[in-house]
């Protein structure tokens, strides 16, 4: 009996150590990468480098926030890239329409709100479909992954929509206090989502559903609604990211907006240390994961390594991250 | 075939178990959950390797390294979940892995022809070119048996073959078993339905706690003796009090639960249960008698197909656990790992999982209150943990169970359903949990307790409902409850109007 108590007392410390390693592995990797760049990469320590990297990573992080919540429930959302395309196609349709041109302020306001809401509704559809018909999430979201981009193309007749609308493009180009606006959006989303996951009923229920769905249901947690909620949030995040991308580009191309985004977001989540099987998640980890992938790519580009090689390294990083997760779970 | 004899030592799951089967014999293998039946079978068929002992088949010592090898050697298991491929045709399933070929191509004509012939031997006439999933479970089982026979199996193992069959299909299956017997094929028949054993088996081996308790001819044992052997009860001996329940409580308050005529799938056919405030009501029955299904139906986890449920004096038909919880019902499941704990979460979060909605203001958790409640219950139930933040999977079984009990107790429920509340936990924690249940009942909580341990039911319950094959066969008040009576009801499944006469003939 005494021995049993002792071993219980000892294991949390071991747990603490392993937890510490798991928690800070991504941070350590990021710091090492930064040190390497300060030493090697020319003109690295400039505001411009910082802004370039943050601007490029912002949309991935915004999508990864929603993706983290979905993955926390044990699901996955393949449709985010296509939802970005829909959102990106809708916005210029609204402010370029007759209504948008006659009511300038209202038109721009609607161009911000409507596409995001629509993307959120499509996300809700994902969740409804998955819970109603008990489909695997990878199959359930595959539907909009394919159809979503089609919808975006139909909306625009498959044409490129060029535009110049400074008040809309605030979301991609403005820099309050010298910080790109999408970076501010990114930081706000990360903070709010991390707080939500830790402190709110919804957040804890997300993790309980991912940790043991049967136990969650038998404890009275509305499992189906929790899932619908996270897919809706994932859709909303994709909607915002879609707006940012078209605003930067001054044009909307439903064939290209958000292409491959689902994989970038999943990679960020995986590298960040969130369990792909659900039940454990870290939003800040996903932010760090996205930063590592971004910085790695930048490092190689800035040092003349071809993009093709960069892709291989990106894959290797994901493999290492998943391997470390496995090892941590095993101990 | 001289028979099979195996003995094991040093393996915790099985110690000194043995089993011998004659040629052309239908041999029943029975025992409670965890008695070691499946381990035996898996060792025999090469799915597990044995720790020690020896296996002889047809006079020669054997040791199969894999189920495939066993199959080629003449031993074919047919599992509960039929392991065939539903999308492929009947003939393909029968010849899977050893298809006939002609000039390098599949010889369909020959395979289809032989499949038809094989099935005809068991009086099954189907289109063997249609996919397996088009047919009923019974036919699928026949196909599995035909496959086994086509391997020239000399020993077929059937693990609960009747669990998903209706009565007519069971009759067909029994004909097939008798046909196998005539052809000199031996059968190991595992089932929890005692009537079936008597209908089709020649001899029976009873296992308990990894040991072979007894082997005898079916005709030499009656049902009561079988149940007693499975539960480990000496019919003559009266045990001393050994649980933590203490004396009777006696007082019963208002009605909390009244379920009548419950029917759930094929497992539960006509079950009645009543619980009053301040009462511990025992639900007894063998494995597969429908105990857990009834609990899940009352809790709204799997709504019943027919029957009425009244909760807290009002008609209720919960379709989701959350609805039952709102009415004041709690449910501790049988399987802690699969349906109870969220392993990666802390003791604190597991304990308050159901309570959480009541601990929030505007969706935000009041962590101070949460911590206060968790501390209180850790102290009250004596949960041994390094602290509320320890992960629950690091706790011992008994302490995990206490956390799960606390999950419901902190909800202040009126009715608590406990499915095997003390399974798999050490003796000390067991007595603690039992006395806690008693204490709570004395304070007015209604408890519906499912248990495979007779002691727990007999000493703990104020009223006992006995289930047999999905039917409530006895409703015993505390002063009527004793081991022979409960066992008689479990064994015979009779309408126990005169339970005493049934008990005395044992």
Query: What ipTM was predicted for this assembly?
Result: 0.82
A213 interaction partners in chain B (CB closer than 8 Å)? none
Q: Nearest residue on chain B to A280, judged by CA atoms?
A: B344
The reply to whether residue A12 touches residue B394, judged by beta carbons under 8 angstroms, is yes
Give the distance from residue B429's alpha carbon to the nearest chain A alpha carbon, in angstroms: 12
Torsion of CA A60, A66, A72, A75, to 10 degrees: -90
The reply to whether residue A199 touches residue B301, judged by beta carbons under 8 angstroms, is no
A189 has a pLDDT exceeding 80 = yes
- Assess contact for B366 and B360: CB atoms under 8 A: yes
Give the distance from residue B331's alpha carbon to the nearest chain A alpha carbon, in angstroms: 8
pLDDT-derived band of residue B210, with 50, 70 and 90 as boundaries? Answer: confident
**Do the strands B255-264 and B268-276 form a parallel or antiparallel pair, or are they unpaired?**
antiparallel
The reply to whether residue A280 touches residue B301, judged by beta carbons under 8 angstroms, is no
Could you tell me which of B501, B502, B482, B483 has the C-alpha nearest to residue B492?
B502
Other Cβ atoms within 10 Å of B328 Cβ, number: 17
Q: In sequence order, what E strands does B46-118 have?
A: 56-57, 60-61, 75-78, 101-102, 105-106
Cα A189 from Cα B406, distance rounded (Å) = 36
B497 has a pLDDT exceeding 70 = no
The reply to whether residue B353 touches residue A199, judged by beta carbons under 8 angstroms, is no
Q: Nearest residue on chain B to A1, judged by CA atoms?
A: B428
The reply to whether residue A202 touches residue B325, judged by beta carbons under 8 angstroms, is no
Tens of pLDDT, residue by residue over A14-45, are 556 666 665 677 788 888 888 888 888 888 88
Interface test with A, best of B343, B386, B406 (most A CBs within 10 A): B386
Give the distance from residue B379's alpha carbon to the nearest chain A alpha carbon, in angstroms: 16
Tens of pLDDT, residue by residue over B122-132, are 777 888 888 88
A279 interaction partners in chain B (CB closer than 8 Å)? 342-345
Range with the poorest average pLDDT among A30-39, B104-113, B351-360, B418-427: B418-427
B324 has a pLDDT exceeding 80 = yes
Tens of pLDDT, residue by residue over A83-92, are 999 999 999 9
Hey, CA dihedral for B29, B33, B39, B42, is it positive or negative? positive
The reply to whether residue B321 touches residue A216, judged by beta carbons under 8 angstroms, is no
Task: Please state which CATH number belongs to domain B255-504.
Answer: 3.40.50.300
Give the distance from residue B462's alpha carbon to the nearest chain A alpha carbon, in angstroms: 27
Torsion of CA B64, B67, B72, B78, to 10 degrees: 130
With a CB cutoff of 8 Å and minimum separation 6, the contacts of B305 are B263, B264, B265
Q: Nearest residue on chain B to A218, judged by CA atoms?
A: B321
pLDDT-derived band of residue B6, with 50, 70 and 90 as boundaries? Answer: low
B371 interaction partners in chain A (CB closer than 8 Å)? none
A274 interaction partners in chain B (CB closer than 8 Å)? none
Give the distance from residue A243's alpha carbon to the nearest chain B alpha carbon, in angstroms: 29
Could you tell me which of B169, B112, B119 has the C-alpha nearest to residue B144?
B119
| Averaged pLDDT for residues B12-18 | 73
The reply to whether residue A215 touches residue B353, judged by beta carbons under 8 angstroms, is yes
Burial of B190 (0-12, 13-18, 19+ CB in 10 A): buried
B503 has a pLDDT exceeding 60 = no
B322 interaction partners in chain A (CB closer than 8 Å)? 220-222
B26 has a pLDDT exceeding 50 = yes
Interface test with A, best of B297, B299, B332, B345 (most A CBs within 10 A): B345
Tens of pLDDT, residue by residue over B251-281, are 677 889 999 899 988 788 899 999 999 999 9
Give the distance from residue A172's alpha carbon to the nearest chain B alpha carbon, in angstroms: 32
B364 interaction partners in chain A (CB closer than 8 Å)? 199-201
pLDDT at B499: 39
Matching fold, domains B26-221 and B255-504: yes
pLDDT at B483: 81
The reply to whether residue A220 touches residue B391, judged by beta carbons under 8 angstroms, is no
B498 has a pLDDT exceeding 50 = no
Q: Using CB atoms, which residue from B354, B386, B395 is nearest to A220?
A: B354
For residue A159, give both structure tokens.
């044409």
B360 interaction partners in chain A (CB closer than 8 Å)? 200-201
pLDDT-derived band of residue B242, with 50, 70 and 90 as boundaries? Answer: low
> Cα A62 vs. chain centroid, distance in angstroms?
5
Tens of pLDDT, residue by residue over B460-486, are 899 999 998 888 988 988 888 888 888
The reply to whether residue B322 touches residue A221, judged by beta carbons under 8 angstroms, is yes
Tens of pLDDT, residue by residue over B60-88, are 888 888 887 888 888 888 875 567 788 88
The reply to whether residue B339 touches residue A208, judged by beta carbons under 8 angstroms, is no
Strand partners, B131: B89
Give the distance from residue B356's alpha carbon to the nearest chain A alpha carbon, in angstroms: 7
Give the distance from residue A324's alpha carbon to the nearest chain B alpha carbon, in angstroms: 17
Cα A281 from Cα A22, distance rounded (Å) = 12
Helix (H, G, I), strand (E, B) or coil at B502: helix
| Averaged pLDDT for residues B98-112 | 84
Interface test with A, best of B303, B322, B342, B408 (most A CBs within 10 A): B342
The reply to whether residue A279 touches residue B391, judged by beta carbons under 8 angstroms, is no
Which CATH superfamily is B26-221 part of? P-loop containing nucleotide triphosphate hydrolases (3.40.50.300)
The reply to whether residue B345 touches residue A217, judged by beta carbons under 8 angstroms, is no
pTM assigned to the model = 0.76
pLDDT at B266: 79
Q: Nearest residue on chain B to A329, judged by CA atoms?
A: B344
pLDDT at B247: 59
Angle at B461 between CA B457 and CA B465, to 5 degrees: 75
Domain residue spans in chain B?
26-221, 255-504
Q: Using CB atoms, which residue from B333, B344, B363 is nearest to A280?
A: B344
The reply to whether residue A211 touches residue B343, judged by beta carbons under 8 angstroms, is yes
Of all helices (H) and strands (E), which one includes residue B37? helix B37-44
Give the distance from residue B374's alpha carbon to the nearest chain A alpha carbon, in angstroms: 16
Q: Using CB atoms, which residue from B322, B341, B357 is nearest to A201?
A: B357
Please give the residue that has the higher pLDDT: either B467 or B288.
B467
Q: Using CB atoms, which residue from B322, B339, B343 is nearest to A214?
A: B339
Q: Using CB atoms, which residue from A204, A207, A220 is nearest to B325?
A: A220
The reply to whether residue A12 touches residue B390, judged by beta carbons under 8 angstroms, is yes
Distant-in-sequence contacts of A90-97, Cβ < 8 A, 24+ apart: A90/A114, A90/A115, A90/A118, A90/A155, A91/A115, A91/A168, A91/A242, A91/A243, A91/A246, A91/A252, A92/A161, A92/A163, A92/A165, A92/A168, A92/A246, A92/A252, A93/A155, A93/A156, A93/A161, A95/A163, A95/A165, A95/A168, A96/A161, A96/A163
Give the distance from residue B321's alpha carbon to the nearest chain A alpha carbon, in angstroms: 5
pLDDT at B34: 64
Interface test with B, best of A218, A229, A273 (most B CBs within 10 A): A218
Tens of pLDDT, residue by residue over A155-188, are 988 888 899 898 999 898 888 888 899 999 999 9
> Cα A282 vs. chain centroid, distance in angstroms?
12
- Assess contact for B175 and B202: CB atoms under 8 A: no
With a CB cutoff of 8 Å and minimum separation 6, the contacts of A36 are A299
């Amino acid at each position: 009996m005494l021995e049993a108590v002792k071993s219980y007392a000892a294991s949390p410390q071991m747990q603490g150590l392993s937890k510490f390693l798991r928690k800070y592995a991504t941070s350590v990797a990021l710091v090492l990468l930064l040190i390497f760049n300060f030493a090697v990469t020319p003109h690295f320590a400039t505001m411009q480098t910082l802004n370039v990297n943050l601007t490029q990573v912002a949309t991935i992080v915004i999508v990864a926030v929603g993706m983290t919540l979905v993955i926390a429930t044990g699901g996955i959302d393949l449709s985010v890239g296509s939802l970005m395309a829909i959102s990106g196609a809708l916005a210029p349709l609204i402010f370029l329409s007759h209504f948008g041109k006659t009511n300038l302020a209202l038109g721009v306001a609607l161009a911000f709100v409507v596409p995001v809401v629509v993307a959120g509704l499509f996300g809700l559809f994902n969740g409804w479909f998955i819970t109603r018909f008990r489909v695997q999430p990878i199959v359930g979201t595959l539907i909009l992954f394919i159809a979503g981009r089609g919808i975006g193309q139909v909306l625009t007749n498959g044409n490129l929509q060029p535009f110049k609308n400074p008040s809309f493009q605030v979301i991609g180009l403005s820099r309050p206090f010298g910080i790109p606006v999408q970076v501010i959006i990114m930081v706000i989303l990360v903070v709010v989502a991390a707080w939500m996951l830790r402190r709110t009923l919804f957040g804890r229920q997300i993790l309980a559903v991912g940790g043991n769905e049967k136990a969650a249901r038998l404890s009275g947690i509305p499992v189906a609604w929790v899932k619908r909620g996270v897919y809706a949030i994932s859709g909303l995040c994709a909607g915002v990211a879609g707006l940012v991308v078209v605003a930067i580009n001054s044009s909307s191309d439903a064939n290209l907006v958000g292409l491959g985004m689902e994989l970038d977001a999943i990679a960020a989540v995986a590298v960040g240390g969130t369990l792909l099987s659900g039940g454990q998640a870290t939003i800040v980890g996903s932010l760090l994961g996205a930063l590592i992938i971004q910085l790695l790519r930048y490092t190689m580009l800035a040092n003349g390594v071809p993009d093709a090689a960069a892709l291989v390294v990106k894959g290797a990083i994901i493999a290492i991250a998943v391997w470390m997760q496995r090892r941590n779970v095993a101990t | 075939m001289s028979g099979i004899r195996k003995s094991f030592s040093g393996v915790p799951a099985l110690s000194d178990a043995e089993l011998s089967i004659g040629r052309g014999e239908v041999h029943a293998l029975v025992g409670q959950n965890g008695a070691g039946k499946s381990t035996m079978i898996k060792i025999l068929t090469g799915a597990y390797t044995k720790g020690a002992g020896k296996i002889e088949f047809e006079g020669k010592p054997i040791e199969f390294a894999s189920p495939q090898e066993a199959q080629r050697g003449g031993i074919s298991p047919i599992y509960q979940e039929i392991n065939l491929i539903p999308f492929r045709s009947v003939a393909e399933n029968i010849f899977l892995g050893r298809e006939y070929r002609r000039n390098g191509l599949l010889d369909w004509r020959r395979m289809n022809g032989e499949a038809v012939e094989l099935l005809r031997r068991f009086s099954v006439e189907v289109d063997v070119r249609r996919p397996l999933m088009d047919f009923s479970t019974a036919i699928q089982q026949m196909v599995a048996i035909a496959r086994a026979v086509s391997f020239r199996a000399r020993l077929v193992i059937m693990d609960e073959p009747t669990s998903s069959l209706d009565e007519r299909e069971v009759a067909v299956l029994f004909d097939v078993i008798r046909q196998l017997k005539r052809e000199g094929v031996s059968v190991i028949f595992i089932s929890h339905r005692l009537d079936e054993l008597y209908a089709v088996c020649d001899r029976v081996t009873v296992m308990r706690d990894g040991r072979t308790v007894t082997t005898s001819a079916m005709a030499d044992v009656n049902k009561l003796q079988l149940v007693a052997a499975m539960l480990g009860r000496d019919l003559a001996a009266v045990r001393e009090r050994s649980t933590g329940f203490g004396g009777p409580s006696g007082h019963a308050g208002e009605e909390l639960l009244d379920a009548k005529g419950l029917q759930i799938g094929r497992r539960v056919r006509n079950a009645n249960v009543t619980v009053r405030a301040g009462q511990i009501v025992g639900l007894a029955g063998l494995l597969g008698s429908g105990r857990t299904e009834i609990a899940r139906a009352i809790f709204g986890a799997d709504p019943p197909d027919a029957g009425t449920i009244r909760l807290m004096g009002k008609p209720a038909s919960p379709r989701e656990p959350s609805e039952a919880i709102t009415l004041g019902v709690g449910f501790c499941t049988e399987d802690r790992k699969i349906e109870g704990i969220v392993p990666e979460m802390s003791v604190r979060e597991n304990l308050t999982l159901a309570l959480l909605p009541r601990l929030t203001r505007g969706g935000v958790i009041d962590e101070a209150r949460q911590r206060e409640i968790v501390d209180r219950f850790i102290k009250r139930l004596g949960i041994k943990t390094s602290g509320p933040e320890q992960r629950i999977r690091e706790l011992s079984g008994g302490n995990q169970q206490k956390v799960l009990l606390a999950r419901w107790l902190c909800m202040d429920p009126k009715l608590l359903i406990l499915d095997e509340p003390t399974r798999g936990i050490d003796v000390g924690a067991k007595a603690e949990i039992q006395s806690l249940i008693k204490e709570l009942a004395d304070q007015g909580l209604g408890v519906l307790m499912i248990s495979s341990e007779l002691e727990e039911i007999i000493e703990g319950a104020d009223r006992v409902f006995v289930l047999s094959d999905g039917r409530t066969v006895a409703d015993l008040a505390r002063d009527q409850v004793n081991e022979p009576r409960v066992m008689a009801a479990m064994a015979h499944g009779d309408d126990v109007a005169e339970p005493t006469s049934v008990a005395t003939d044992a």
